[in-house]
């Protein structure tokens, strides 16, 4: 292949299957962030968008010394199907890309590179994907503006400009969001390349990673990573993501209707790839010795309640990849070494493409959580949402939803595992590769009595409509969803269906093998819905629980404690105007409380004799709740909202986190009634 020489003229090269290429000469350009604030029509005056994304910086000089050819157009269906004829069977999937001259989609990175190898072997010419640096160089074609057309993009490149929920029937506009992907219909840039802004994103050869400030020559990205770079933006997103500088990425095995590719010709640059040298704090110096159950700082037979600790440690004013605006939907796991690992999403908008997952570690024996750093985040994809679980041999599982772009409607689901206390993780595996409903993990994972793993995911994108149950009988390699394709149930007393009632449901297995779930929404007789399955999630019966409904900004949790009882944490009512709930205190009298409470069942959910407020039962002090808002913790009031996640450590302490705070207490505290107004706080509080 070394005999192929790029032309020095502007002559177009046409290959054996009709693909057209133009030469790109060597040169130097500035890669990365824009030089002036973006106009309001692109930034919407949002601080995190005003100067482009954090990963577009620092801007730096790049020199391309090796001329190369680049395809005038994105690869089309007819071209790709010379290599993979079976792809014709998925033309028109979800309505997209039916015709020969439309950009090929539903092609992952491996398939795109295989197409290039096939062409190379067929023609003895070095076909390949372009590097990210080559792609931006060719896109800009000498420009330094937001687009090669200037600082605005002509209307002809606007295709379904929005934060799309497609194909969610409840929130999208349905088939009206399907647009043609015909190549070559937009304005070519100064060097003759079409569709460099939009139509479909394009795979690049690089592993994604941060820019470095110094000038570079023929950069090729990183030696390894979790995501491959995609460039150019697509239909069904906002114009901000179509800019020359904008960077996106995808799991290499991911394939959907927003990503295609373009082919380059030329020997791959000989530059050494970069190596990421700085680990995030949660992955640094992680001890590997397992801890035993004993602790010296409390007596497990006496009530113990630790003063809540703020675990969301993000500097004010952070605008990427950590965001101080909104931190929510956590997951927590107790590691075999005694550390606690918490993850949650961080964003400006819950539906935004900036939403990624950050993490923090509370090391065994320490009192404070470490500052948060990025844990997982496919760039420019809404990574909604997360679950963590540690199995009986110490393997930690991480589950996460993965959108095609914005919103939590079109989600695939990825799984990673760690066998070293969360210090390193396996490459992501797309355990549910289709981007659709029923793939948003909820923090309720456990090993069932038949040795299967049970995971729940929201079945819908709205506040009512139920939860899906996913089951793996081979330790996470494959999963089944018994309710998939079934009709939406009627969530009423005495009715049966194939889904759990309520979204964000939490599930526990009873000793007689039945499953019990509580959820949010789908209210039954004015109470939080309870669902029972006698056949491992194939079917469910519905009834009201005894507990108040939860609403926006709230999520309950269930956990089978190591000592045997079932633990529930939930809320007395709406977080903005909490309704009171009666509890019985140590004097035997009933009194009203508001906010987050704990309940304990000793008879498999039939009754809940121990119910108390999750509070230090003091005279009243202000504490932060979600997004820095304040609430008063006292004898009568507790945190009013938050999405809850819970685990139990080797010392049997129960660790409950909200969207901001970490609470720790033991079974003895749960079974001790809250004090009366005249009593001194009976538990040992730290």
Q: Which two tokens stand for residue 344?
A: 């949650």
**Domains of the chain: residue spans and CATH:** 13-265 (3.90.1580.10), 551-686 (no CATH)
CA distance 453 to 309: 31
Nearby residues of 146 by Cβ (< 8 Å), 6 or more positions away: 34, 38, 42, 152, 153, 243, 244, 245
Could you give the 3-state DSSP secondary structure of residue 590?
strand
**3-state secondary structure labels for all residues of 50-107:** CCCCHHHCCCEEEEECCCEEEECCCCEHHHHHHHCHHHHHHCCHHHCCCCCCEECCCC
Could you give the 3-state DSSP secondary structure of residue 304?
strand
Residue 234: alpha-carbon gap to chain centroid: 20
Q: Omega of the bond prior to 321 within 30 degrees of 0, cis?
A: yes
Kindly write down the DSSP assignment for every residue of 450-511, as one continuous string: TS-EEEEEESSSSSSS-EEEEEESSTTSS-B-TTTTPPPP--STT-EESSBSSEEEEEEE-T
pLDDT at residue 8, as a whole number: 56
For 473-481, the CB contacts below 8 A with 24+ separation are: 475/391, 476/397, 476/415, 476/417, 476/431, 477/431, 478/431, 479/431, 479/432, 479/455, 481/438, 481/457
Sign (positive or negative) of CA dihedral 138, 248, 410, 39: negative
Report which of 572, 444, 442, 558 is spatially closest to residue 504, judged by C-alpha positions: 442
- pTM (predicted TM-score): 0.96
CA distance 476 to 237: 33
Instruction: Say how many C-beta atoms besides its own lie within 10 A of residue 142's C-beta.
Output: 11
Nearby residues of 55 by Cβ (< 8 Å), 6 or more positions away: 210, 211, 247, 320, 321, 379
pLDDT at residue 299, as a whole number: 84
pLDDT at residue 2, as a whole number: 46
Residues 413 and 432: beta-carbon distance below 8 Å = yes
Strands 340-347 and 356-362: antiparallel
Residues in the chain: 686
pLDDT at residue 10, as a whole number: 73
pLDDT along the chain (686 residues), means of 10: 56 96 97 85 93 95 98 98 98 98 98 98 98 98 96 96 97 97 97 98 98 96 97 98 98 98 98 93 96 71 95 96 97 98 98 98 96 98 97 97 98 98 98 98 96 98 97 96 95 97 98 98 98 98 98 97 98 92 94 97 98 95 95 96 97 97 98 84 46
Sign (positive or negative) of CA dihedral 25, 27, 31, 36: negative
Terminal CA-CA length for the chain:
70
pLDDT at residue 262, as a whole number: 98
Residues 231 and 192: beta-carbon distance below 8 Å = no
CA distance 43 to 39: 6
| Bridge partner residues of 207 (DSSP) | 222, 228
Nearby residues of 658 by Cβ (< 8 Å), 6 or more positions away: 330, 596, 625, 626, 639, 641, 642, 643, 644
Question: What are the two backbone dihedrals, phi and then psi, of residue 665, each rounded to the nearest 5 degrees?
Answer: -160, 170
Residues 80 and 104: beta-carbon distance below 8 Å = yes
CA distance 438 to 486: 12
């Amino acid at each position: 292949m070394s005999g192929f020489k790029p032309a020095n003229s502007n002559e177009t090269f046409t290959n054996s299957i009709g693909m057209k290429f133009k030469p790109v000469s060597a040169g130097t350009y500035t890669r990365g962030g824009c030089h002036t604030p973006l106009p309001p029509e692109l930034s919407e005056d949002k601080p995190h968008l005003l100067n482009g994304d954090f990963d577009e910086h620092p801007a730096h000089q790049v020199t391309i010394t090796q001329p190369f050819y680049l395809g005038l157009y994105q690869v089309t269906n007819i071209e790709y199907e010379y290599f993979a004829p079976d792809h014709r069977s998925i033309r028109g999937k979800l309505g997209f890309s039916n015709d020969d001259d439309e950009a090929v989609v539903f092609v992952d990175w491996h398939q795109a590179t295989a197409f290039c190898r096939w062409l190379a072997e067929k023609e003895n010419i070095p076909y390949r994907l372009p590097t990210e640096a080559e792609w931006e160089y060719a896109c800009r074609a000498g420009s330094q503006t937001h687009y090669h057309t200037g600082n605005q993009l002509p209307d002809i490149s606007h295709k379904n400009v929005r934060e799309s929920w497609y194909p969610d029937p409840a929130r999208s506009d349905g088939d009206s969001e399907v647009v043609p992907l015909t190549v070559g219909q937009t304005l070519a840039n100064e060097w003759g390349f079409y569709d460099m802004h939009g139509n479909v994103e394009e795979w690049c050869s690089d592993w994604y990673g941060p820019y470095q400030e110094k000038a570079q020559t023929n950069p090729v990205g990183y030696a390894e990573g979790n995501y491959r770079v995609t460039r150019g933006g697509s239909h069904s997103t906002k114009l901000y993501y179509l800019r020359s500088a904008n960077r996106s990425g995808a799991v290499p095995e991911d394939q959907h209707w927003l990503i295609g590719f373009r082919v380059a010709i030329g020997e791959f640059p000989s530059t050494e790839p970069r190596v990421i040298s700085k680990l995030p704090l949660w992955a640094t110096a992680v001890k590997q010795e397992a801890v035993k159950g004993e602790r010296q700082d409390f007596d497990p037979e006496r009530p113990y309640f630790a003063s809540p600790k703020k675990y969301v440690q993000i500097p004010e004013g952070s605008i990427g990849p950590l965001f101080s605006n909104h931190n929510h939907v956590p997951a927590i796991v107790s590691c075999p070494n005694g550390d606690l690992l918490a993850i949650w999403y961080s964003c400006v908008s819950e539906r935004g493409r900036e939403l990624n997952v950050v993490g923090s570690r509370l090391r065994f024996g320490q009192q404070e959580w470490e500052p948060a750093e990025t844990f997982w985040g496919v760039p420019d994809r809404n990574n909604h949402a997360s679950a963590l679980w540690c199995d009986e041999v110490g393997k930690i599982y991480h589950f996460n939803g993965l959108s095609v772009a914005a919103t939590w409607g079109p989600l695939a689901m990825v799984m990673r595992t760690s066998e070293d206390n969360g210090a390193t993780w396996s490459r992501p595996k797309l355990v549910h590769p289709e981007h659709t409903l029923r793939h948003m993990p909820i923090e309720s994972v456990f090993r069932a009595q038949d040795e299967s793993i049970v995971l729940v995911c929201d079945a819908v994108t709205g506040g009512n409509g139920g939860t899906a149950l996913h089951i793996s009988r081979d330790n996470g390699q494959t999963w089944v969803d018994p309710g998939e394709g079934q009709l939406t149930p009627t969530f009423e007393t005495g009715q049966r269906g194939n889904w759990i009632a309520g979204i964000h449901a939490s599930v526990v297995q009873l000793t007689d093998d039945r499953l019990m779930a509580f959820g949010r929404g789908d209210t039954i007789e004015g109470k939080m819905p309870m669902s029972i399955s006698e056949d491992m999630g194939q079917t469910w019966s519905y009834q009201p629980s005894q507990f108040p409904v939860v609403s926006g900004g709230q999520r309950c949790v269930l956990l089978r404690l190591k000592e045997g009882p079932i633990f529930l944490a939930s809320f007395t009512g709406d977080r903005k105007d909490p309704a009171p709930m009666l509890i019985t205190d140590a004097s035997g009298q009933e009194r009203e409380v508001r906010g987050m409470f704990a309940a304990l069942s000793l008879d498999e959910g039939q009754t809940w004799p121990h119910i108390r407020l999750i509070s230090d039962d003091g005279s009243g002090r202000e504490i932060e709740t979600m997004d820095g808002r304040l609430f008063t913790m006292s004898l009568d009031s507790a945190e009013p909202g938050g999405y809850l996640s819970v685990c139990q450590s080797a010392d049997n302490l129960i660790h409950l986190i909200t969207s901001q705070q970490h609470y720790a207490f033991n079974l003895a505290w749960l079974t001790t009634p809250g004090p009366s107004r005249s009593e001194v706080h009976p538990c040992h509080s730290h």
